[in-house]
Amino acid sequence: MDIVVLDGYTENPGDLSWAGFENIGSLTVYDCTPKDDTVEILRRIGRAPAVLTNKTPINAQVIDACPELKYIGLFSTGTDAVDCAHAAGRGIVVANVPSYSTAAVAQHAIALLLEICSKVALHNASVHKGEWQDCPDFCYWKGSITELAGLTMGIIGFGEIGRATGRIAKAMGMRVLAAGSRPRAEGLEIGEYVELDQLLRESDVISIHCPMKPETSRLINRDTIDKMRHGVIIINTARGGIIDEEALAQALDSGRVAAAGVDVVSVEPIKPDNPLLSAPNCIITPHAAWTPITCRQRVMDIAVSNMRAWLEGHPENVVSK
Nearest-CA neighbor of 20 among 319, 313, 289, 311? 311
CB 153 within 8 A of CB 175: yes
Q: Which residue in the list 115, 202, 246, 268 is annotated as catalytic?
A: 268
Q: Which residues are CB-contacts of 173 (< 8 A; sequence separation ≥ 6)?
A: 148, 149, 150
Catalytic-residue membership of 287: yes
Give the Cβ contact number of residue 108 at 10 Å: 23
Q: Which residues are CB-contacts of 169 (< 8 A; sequence separation ≥ 6)?
A: 110, 148, 153, 155, 176, 205, 207
The number of angstroms, rounded, from the C-alpha of 174 to the middle of its chain's C-alpha atoms is 23
Apex CA 47: angle with CA 46 and CA 48, to 5°? Answer: 95
Taking the C-alpha atoms of residue 137 and residue 87, their distance in angstroms, rounded to an integer, is: 66
Catalytic-residue membership of 298: no
Catalytic-residue membership of 182: no
- Indicate the SS3 state at residue 1: coil
**Rg for the chain, CA atoms, rounded:** 22
Q: Which residue in the list 229, 256, 287, 296 is annotated as catalytic?
A: 287
Q: Which residue in the list 44, 123, 163, 239 is annotated as catalytic?
A: 239
CB 178 within 8 A of CB 162: yes
Burial 45-83 (b: 16+ CB within 10 A, else e): beebbbbbbbbbbbeeebbeebeebbbbbbbbbbbebbb
Catalytic residue numbers, as ranges: 239, 268, 287
